[in-house]
Structure 1
Amino acid sequence: MKTSLEVTAEPLPRDLAFVGESLTAFNDSDVGASGRKTLAVFVRDDAGAVVAGISGYTAWGWLYVQWLWVDEKLRGRRIAASMLDAAEREAIARGCHGAWIDTFNPTAAKVYERQGYRPFGAIADFPVGRSRIFLQKKISA
């Protein structure tokens, strides 16, 4: 079989879908189905606009918080903590036993630690001058 290598900043959606589906099939056969399910939490203002939110998923008994954002005007009001609590409750209802999150913002890392998350690794200079910190938490009913 002849092959060629392609590097692109604009991959075709069908090619990305194929790679994702292929990896999912491999992982399912290797360790069992992930049960991956999207999980989002939003805070909205009186007009219905999103002013804070979490986006992530649950899989293999874990909650992964991919994005957590709070509008600058609302920071310091424990909104992140409330959203994390809500996401963790939903993850527990889905059968999860752990949660993890990562950040390169030292202030965010402190917020997560106040919520019971503990660092388990870091990548220095990601981005340069900062460290990307990985944190986890055991969750249970």
Structure 2
Amino acid sequence: MSTTTITVAAEAMPDELAAIGDGLAAFNQADVGPSGRLAVTVLARDETNAIVGGISGYTAWGWLYVQWLWIAEALRGQGMAGQMLEAAETEARKRGCHAAYIDTFNPVALKVYQKQGYLTFGELANFPPGRTRTFLQKPL
């Protein structure tokens, strides 16, 4: 009988992360079929071509996941988040997605997402302390 050891580290090597990701992807594919996962990036650039906002996420199993959404402080409050979300959602529809999801613990971002038609489906209180992490979804 072999012995299994368990280790804990603050950082993982790329090959270690690949082993975890590949193993999970293989399990999920056998369980529910291929995800069709594709990255989605939406960038906002200024007149000098500098990035002043963006979205990073992916589509998989018919869903768009918006992992990161950032806008430079000088451009906040001007509808940029809505425009970028619309661009990501349009691309997701082209890929056959039927819905999108996102999460935030920022009260201002929460209002922006709700204004874009996202509805709360879950919350984690005190994540981070003093805030609530809200999970939202939207049919496409």
Name the TM-score, length of structure 1 as normaliser. 0.98
Question: Match for residue 21 of structure 2?
Answer: 20
Does residue 66 in structure 1 map to residue 67 in structure 2? yes
Instruction: Give the C-alpha shift of residue 11 in structure 1.
Output: 1.1
Partner residue of 1:130?
131
Asked whether 1:5 is paired with 2:3, we answer no
Equivalents in 1 of 2:68, 2:11: separation in Å?
23
**In the TM superposition, what is the alpha-carbon distance from 1:65 to its structure 2 partner?**
0.1
Letter in 1 for 2:60: A
How far off is 1:87 after superposition? 0.3
4+ residue runs of structure 1 moved beyond 2 angstroms?
none
What secondary structure is seen at the aligned counterpart in 1 of 2:68?
strand
Question: What do residues 71-114 of structure 1 show as CA deviations (whole Å, max 9, x unaligned)?
Answer: 00001110000000000000000000000000000110000000
1:12 Cα shift? 1.2
Q: Find the residue that maps to 1:5 and give its secondary structure.
A: coil
Equivalence map 1:1-141=2 (5 Å): 1-139=2-140
The unaligned stretches of length 5 or more in structure 1 are none
Aligned length: 139
Amino acid of the structure 2 residue aligned with 1:14: D
SS at match of 2:77: coil
**SS where residue 136 of structure 1 aligns?**
strand
Q: Which TM-score applies when normalising by structure 2?
A: 0.98
**Matches of 1:14 and 1:96, distance apart in 2:** 31
**How far apart in 2 are the matches of 1:76 and 1:123?**
26
Aligned-residue Cα RMSD (Å) equals 0.5
**Cα distance between partner residues in 2 of 1:52 and 1:3:** 45
Residue 84 of structure 1 aligns with an amino acid whose one-letter code is: L
Aligned with 2:137: secondary structure? strand
Counterpart-to-counterpart distance in 1, 2:85 and 2:16: 34
Q: Name the CA distance, whole Å, in 1 between partners of 2:77 and 2:128.
A: 25
How many Å separate the matches in 1 of 2:6 and 2:23? Answer: 18
Q: CA deviation at 1:10?
A: 1.9
Q: Residues of 2 paired with 1:11 and 1:116: CA distance?
A: 38
